[in-house]
Amino acid sequence: MSRTIKRGSPPRRPQPRRKQPVRKVSALDRLVGALPVSEATLRRIATWTILGAVGIAAVVAASLAGVPGMVGSALAEGAGRAGFRVEQIEITGLKRMDRMSVYAVALDQKSTAMPLVDLAAVRDRLLHYGWIADAHVSRRLPDTLLVDIVERTPAAVWQDNGQLTLIDAKGVLLEPVKPDAIPNLPLVIGPGADLQEASYQSLLAAVPALKSRVTAATWVGNRRWDLTFDSGETLLLPEEGADRAIMKFAALQGDRPLLGRGWLRFDMRDPAKLVARKPGASMARQVADPGDVKTDDAKTNDKTTGAVAGAGGPAIREG
């Protein structure tokens, strides 16, 4: 009896694996992956941007085509519902003015939909505040309003009828000042003194040595200045030629100190002479101590005016 022996099939050789193509990552993909937001959020932002741009373009096109404002407003509100609505306000350049006042102006809108925010109107309302010299208002889509403020710089405190007000170099009123919180700034006094701030600053700029000693300036009769010094004296300047008079006084002060020597008042309203007065002195009497206000060695006693006149210098008498 014969037997049939079945031989097994030879084992299959393993097929070599196919190499998977290496996926190239673009620079844009790497940048997106590095952002601290998810891809879904990026898609949503992109959608809002596209919808907002389309909405704004539609509003502009509708306005140019004469479509009624109601239709344009509806399109703008649609953009607002899509996410283009004022949710944040960023303010830059603000140092002294109340920040809440700027927020109130920026949010005073009939609608907060971005296409309907009137940027020019916001800027105009901001310019009504004394502190604000200029303002720039812009949108940053999808939801931020940018307000850049240029503030005025305070230059003096104006006192009128007992009221104190902070003003800038051009006399623009900035804000009220409390009597117990007066800043370290020049004090100008009297009706109209605020409008003369620029000329007053120019006057003192010519005499820097005296400028630091002036504590107050009174605008008299809407025509001239009386200056008060830290040592208590008052200098009466003329209506015309005040710059020349104060420079002459500064020269005298530098040559022979007058301030802090017991004088009460110096009157330079007459450009030909300097009239000095001491407390309790008689109006008709010559200066009691000519050594306090020295002139040149050659002196003549002016019996008519009661003045001590120096050759080449102003006449100085008690008034």
At residue 130, the pLDDT reads 93
At residue 140, the pLDDT reads 86
At residue 107, the pLDDT reads 86
At residue 247, the pLDDT reads 94
The predicted-structure confidence for 75-100, as pLDDT tens digits, reads as follows 445 544 444 677 889 999 999 998 99
Q: In angstroms, rounded to a whole number, what is the distance separating the alpha carbons of residues 16 and 2?
A: 43
Alpha-carbon Rg of the chain, whole angstroms?
40
Phi, psi angles (nearest 5°) of residue 51: -65, -40
**268: left (phi > 0), else alpha (psi -120 to 50), else beta?**
alpha
Q: In angstroms, rounded to a whole number, what is the distance separating the alpha carbons of residues 262 and 6?
A: 141
H-run or E-run covering 244: helix 242-255
Which residue positions in the chain have pLDDT lower than 50? 63-72, 75-76, 79-83, 283-316
At residue 43, the pLDDT reads 66
At residue 59, the pLDDT reads 53
At residue 292, the pLDDT reads 43
For 29, half-sphere exposure in the C-beta direction (CA atoms, 13 angstrom radius) is 4
Q: What 3-state class would DSSP assign to 124?
A: helix
At residue 50, the pLDDT reads 62
Write down all domains in the chain, each with its CATH number in brackets.
37-151 (3.10.20.310), 154-318 (3.40.50.11690)
At residue 109, the pLDDT reads 80
